[in-house]
């Protein structure tokens, strides 16, 4: 779409909507979701002008069905416009901007929610503590992160919002992620000492942002925002598209204007009937808060359990293969609980010809502990994999030996090259590699070891310790510090397994077709 620069366009639209009226009596546009128009120092006449512009935008862009930030943008830009027509044109340019990697305004409920999920993924990387805090309190993370952009374009004080707007017009949507992450980091410091007194994190965050001047100047806020080592716009766009695909699988469509029911908005995943021999309901909420947003949309389903199925690697594979991603959780005889998030199907191990150890994985894989303490270990880099990439570019990190008598070679990093046809800068791709060392280790028993590798630059689990190693009979295993995740041993170095479970993510579509990830 293109925005006509002719000032007469605005005059024509206003004449159709308001006639000769100078004060609008119309209800606010539906795409505002009933939101208020921020005052931002505007007088009564200024607020009336904002409302007229918003109504005209709704008329001029009829397919824009959900855009709660628009009132704030119009209110801010009106300060720097000669008149209503110029403000209307400026906003129209932002709405019409076509570069997907530098987009400006979400205009549908689908894209707005995908942006919320993308922010949740970024918060999972850069503000880890706050995520666990909210999930442990049984409050809804999805609802909390749904406000993220409103922290900037509704709650920030006027002088702060103006500074953010200035950079946003130059840099695009990515700046909003930066500023919101900076606000979340500041909030984490503030709330840590008073968490027991917080009844509603969503309301508490809103109050914090409104009073952010007590904690940080506008200049310091932007400095903090730009110190974050963010993913590239291309990576963010890949993640955004993956999240949008998951929402569409969940049943959200491009014409949808809001959640169908309040229940859908408040409780995306129902843990009320959750049961496990390994973890409590609260612990599973924390784990589900750690996994990427597009998978956390759907309820967990148990794929394998040592209490229900045979304790063997064959049984494990028969129930887990074909599902991605999966969460492996185990409890030792000492009541320690730890596990790993596998972002890709374990069947990937069959796609390599090497007789030695094969490593494959994505930057979304991680390992964790739940007891005696809760902690997640994952590289802080953001490397986004989506279903649109080729199978060779999407790998889960794992290592498998081929039998009792096969030597198990440790893996080191040698020369790393990109697969044919991929860019020479593989910062957003997973590069599979196998490079056996000169001194193989021998093992008496066949073992399955998850050595989750990050994407380029590669940090080998084999070269820096195995985060988690399970015996083929699933009776025991071992763990050690792993350079890949900067993790410490997840439990006692050598352990006996009391119970082990693998969970996937499942939902039913409108046609009752079963999807398992």
pLDDT tens per residue, range 79-134:
999 899 999 999 999 998 888 778 899 989 999 989 998 998 898 888 877 777 77
> What are the φ and ψ backbone dihedral angles of 160, each rounded to 5 degrees?
-75, -45
Burial of 122 (0-12, 13-18, 19+ CB in 10 A): buried
3-state SS class at 340: strand
Task: Say which range, 281-285, 396-400, 470-474, has the weakest mean pLDDT.
Answer: 396-400
Distance of CA 374 to CAs 61, 129, 499, Å?
48, 10, 18
Q: How far apart are CA 223 and CA 124, in angstroms?
A: 21
Q: For the chain, which domains are there?
A: 7-96 (no CATH), 109-250 (1.10.472.80), 281-381+449-505 (no CATH)
Sign of the Cα torsion 138, 139, 143, 144 reads negative
Q: What is the DSSP letter of 35?
A: P
pLDDT, mean of residues 42-59: 91
Q: Kindly tell me if the per-residue pLDDT of 346 is higher than 50.
A: yes
Of residues 466 and 244, more confidence is placed in 244
pLDDT tens, 190-233? 887 787 778 888 899 999 999 999 999 999 999 999 999 888 88
Whole-number Å distance between alpha carbons of 189 and 130: 9
Q: Mean pLDDT over all residues of the chain? A: 74
* CA-atom Rg of the chain in angstroms: 25
Residue 4 vs residue 175, higher pLDDT: 175
CB 478 within 8 A of CB 494: yes
How far apart, in whole angstroms, are the C-alpha atoms of residue 459 and residue 302? 31
pLDDT of 440 over the 80 cut: no
d(CA 323, CA 257) in angstroms, rounded, equals 32
Provide the pLDDT for residue 357. 53
Lowest mean pLDDT among 69-78, 247-256, 405-414: 405-414
Concatenated DSSP letters for 403-455? STTS-B--B------PPTTS-S--TTS---B--B-SS-B--SS-EEEE-PPPS
Q: Minimum mean pLDDT among 194-203, 390-399, 482-491, 502-511: which range?
A: 390-399
* Sign of the CA dihedral running 455, 456, 457, 462: positive
**The pLDDT of residue 232:** 86
Least confident of 236-250, 287-301, 399-413, 482-496: 399-413
pLDDT score, position 355: 52
Task: Determine the average pLDDT of the residues in 269-275.
Answer: 76
288: tokens are: 């589900």
- Percent of residues, the chain, with pLDDT higher than 70: 71
Mean pLDDT value of segment 38-54 = 91
Say if residue 363's pLDDT is above 90.
Answer: no
467 contacts: CB under 8 Å, gap ≥ 6: 340, 367, 377, 450, 451, 452, 461, 479, 480, 482, 484, 485, 487, 490
What pLDDT score does 506 carry? 59
Query: Looking up tokens 């009226």, which residue turns up?
Result: 21
The percentage of the chain sitting over the pLDDT mark of 90, rounded to a whole number, equals 26
Q: What pLDDT, on the 0 to 100 scale, is given for residue 34?
A: 63
- Using an 8 Å Cβ cutoff, are 368 and 290 in contact? yes
**CA dist 476 to 269, 308, 331, Å?**
32, 18, 10
Does the pTM surpass 0.85? The reply is: no
Give the model's pLDDT for residue 337. Answer: 94
**Tens-place pLDDT, residues 376-407:** 887 644 343 333 333 333 333 333 333 333 22
Q: Which of 272-286, 325-339, 375-389 is predicted most confidently?
A: 325-339
pLDDT at 248: 85
């Amino acid at each position: 779409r293109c925005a006509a620069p002719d000032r007469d366009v605005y005059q024509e639209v206003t004449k159709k909507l308001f006639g000769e009226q100078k004060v609008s009596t119309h209800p606010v546009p539906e795409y505002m979701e009933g939101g208020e128009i921020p005052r931002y120092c505007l007088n009564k006449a200024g607020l009336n002008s904002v409302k007229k512009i918003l109504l005209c935008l709704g008329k001029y862009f009829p397919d824009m069905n959900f855009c709660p930030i628009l009132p704030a943008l119009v209110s801010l830009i009106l300060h720097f416009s000669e008149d209503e027509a110029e403000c209307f044109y400026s906003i129209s340019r932002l709405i019409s901007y076509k570069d997907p990697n530098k987009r400006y305004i979400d205009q549908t409920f689908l894209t707005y929610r995908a942006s919320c999920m993308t922010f949740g993924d970024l918060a999972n990387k850069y503000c880890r503590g706050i995520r666990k805090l909210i999930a442990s309190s049984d409050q809804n993370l999805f609802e909390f992160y749904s406000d993220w952009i409103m922290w900037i374009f509704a709650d920030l004080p006027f002088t702060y919002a103006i500074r953010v707007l200035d950079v946003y017009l130059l840099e695009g949507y990515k700046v909003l992620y930066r500023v919101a992450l900076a606000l979340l980091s500041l909030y984490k410091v503030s709330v840590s000492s008073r968490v027991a007194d917080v009844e509603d994190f969503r309301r508490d965050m809103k109050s914090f942002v409104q009073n952010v001047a007590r904690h940080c100047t506008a200049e310091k806020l932007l400095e903090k925002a730009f110190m974050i080592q963010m993913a590239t716009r291309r990576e963010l766009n890949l993640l955004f598209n993956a999240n949008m695909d998951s929402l569409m699988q969940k049943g959200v469509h491009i014409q949808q204007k809001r959640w169908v029911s309040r229940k859908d908005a408040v409780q995306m995943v129902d843990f009320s009937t959750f049961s496990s021999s390994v973890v409590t309901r609260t612990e599973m909420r924390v784990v589900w808060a750690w996994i990427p947003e597009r998978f956390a949309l759907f309820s967990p389903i148990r794929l394998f359990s040592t209490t229900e199925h045979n304790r063997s690697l064959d049984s494990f594979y028969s129930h887990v293969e074909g599902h991605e991603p999966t969460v492996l959780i185990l409890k030792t005889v000492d009541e320690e609980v730890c596990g790993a998030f596998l972002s890709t199907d374990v069947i990937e191990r069959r796609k390599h010809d090497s007789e030695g150890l094969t490593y494959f994985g994505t930057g979304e894989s991680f390992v964790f502990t739940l007891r005696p303490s809760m902690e997640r270990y994952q590289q802080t880099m953001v490397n986004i994999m989506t279903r649109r990439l080729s199978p060779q570019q999407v790998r889960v990190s794992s290592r498998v030996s081929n039998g009792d008598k096969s030597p198990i070679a440790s893996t080191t990093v040698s020369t790393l090259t990109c697969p044919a046809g991929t860019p020479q800068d593989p910062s957003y791709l997973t590069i599979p590699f196998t490079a056996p060392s000169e001194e193989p280790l021998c093992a008496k028993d066949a073992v399955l070891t998850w050595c989750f590798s990050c994407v380029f630059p590669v940090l080998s689990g084999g070269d820096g310790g195995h985060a988690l190693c399970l015996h083929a009979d699933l009776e025991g295993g071992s763990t050690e510090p792993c350079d890949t995740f900067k993790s410490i041993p997840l439990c006692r170095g050598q352990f006996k397994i009391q119970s082990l479970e693998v969970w996937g993510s499942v939902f039913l579509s409108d046609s009752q077709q079963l999807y398992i990830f």
